[in-house]
């Protein structure tokens, strides 16, 4: 799709999610290999699941390893900054840089995942699901490998934000709007909802726990 050639949402999303993986590795005190592994799994994990589901041959980073290279560069740059600089980047409020990098990656991947699904001709509802998967599975994989409860299991408005962005994009395209405007609107919708959830502490209702 032409608009993806103009603004590489996928590549930017890979870099931002790789950053969130590297920041998580810093928080966990990992070595350079741990940084590289966590950044790469986070950066390409969601897109890999999407490509496997739509039968892409090859998976995007196998056919073009530049995205993996982006993850490795981001990981080692964060490692090279050292503990003090990374701590300053993250800030003192529970690692806010990690949360915001994840939110940005979520919105970018909601758009790029949906766009790729639509490009191969899947139905609208399936495209929304695939966009949501692309946006969330990288963070899930990151948190599992880091030994942290994934955000999707913490009552946070996370999957909902990705689904909203994907749905807005699909809905506007069905109305015949320009693809770039649709993708931009989807990105804004996903990021805005996630940002409001972070800033205002919004969460979904939870079923009462039982012993």
Each residue of 122-176: pLDDT tens digit?
A: 999 999 999 999 999 999 999 999 998 887 777 678 999 999 999 999 999 999 9
94, 96, 99, 100 alpha-carbon torsion, rounded to 10°: 170
DSSP-derived letter for residue 57 is S
In a domain, 70, yes or no: yes
Say if residues 178 and 152 touch (Cβ distance below 8 Å).
Answer: no
In a domain, 15, yes or no: yes
More confident residue, 16 or 92: 16
In a domain, 172, yes or no: yes
Burial 68-104 (b: 16+ CB within 10 A, else e): bebbbebbeebbeeeeeebeebbeeeebebbbbbbbb
Q: Taking the model in full, what pTM does it have?
A: 0.87
In a domain, 205, yes or no: no
Each residue of 18-28: pLDDT tens digit?
A: 999 999 999 89
In a domain, 208, yes or no: no
- What is the per-residue pLDDT for 7? 54
Domain containing 183 equals 2-200
Structural domains of the chain, count: 1
Query: At a CB cut-off of 8 Å and minimum separation 6, what does 83 contact?
Result: 26
């Amino acid at each position: 799709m032409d608009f993806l050639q103009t603004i590489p949402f996928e590549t930017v999303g890979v870099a931002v999610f790789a950053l969130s993986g590297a920041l998580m590795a810093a928080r966990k005190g990992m070595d350079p290999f741990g940084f590289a592994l966590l950044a790469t799994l986070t950066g390409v994990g969601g897109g890999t699941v999407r490509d496997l589901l739509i039968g892409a041959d090859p998976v995007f980073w196998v056919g073009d390893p530049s995205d993996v290279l982006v993850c490795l560069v981001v990981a080692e740059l964060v490692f090279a900054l050292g503990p003090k600089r990374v701590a300053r980047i993250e800030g003192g409020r529970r690692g806010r840089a990690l949360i915001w990098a994840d939110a940005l990656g979520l919105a970018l991947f909601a758009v790029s995942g949906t766009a790729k699904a639509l490009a191969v001709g899947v139905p609208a509802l399936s495209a929304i699901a695939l966009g949501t998967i692309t946006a969330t599975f990288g963070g899930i994989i990151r948190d599992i490998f880091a030994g942290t409860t994934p955000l999707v299991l913490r009552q946070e408005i996370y999957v909902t934000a990705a689904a909203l962005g994907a749905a807005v994009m699909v809905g506007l395209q069905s109305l015949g709007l320009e693809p770039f405007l649709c993708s931009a609107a989807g990105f804004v919708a996903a990021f805005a909802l996630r940002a409001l959830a972070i800033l205002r502490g919004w969460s979904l209702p939870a079923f009462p726990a039982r012993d």
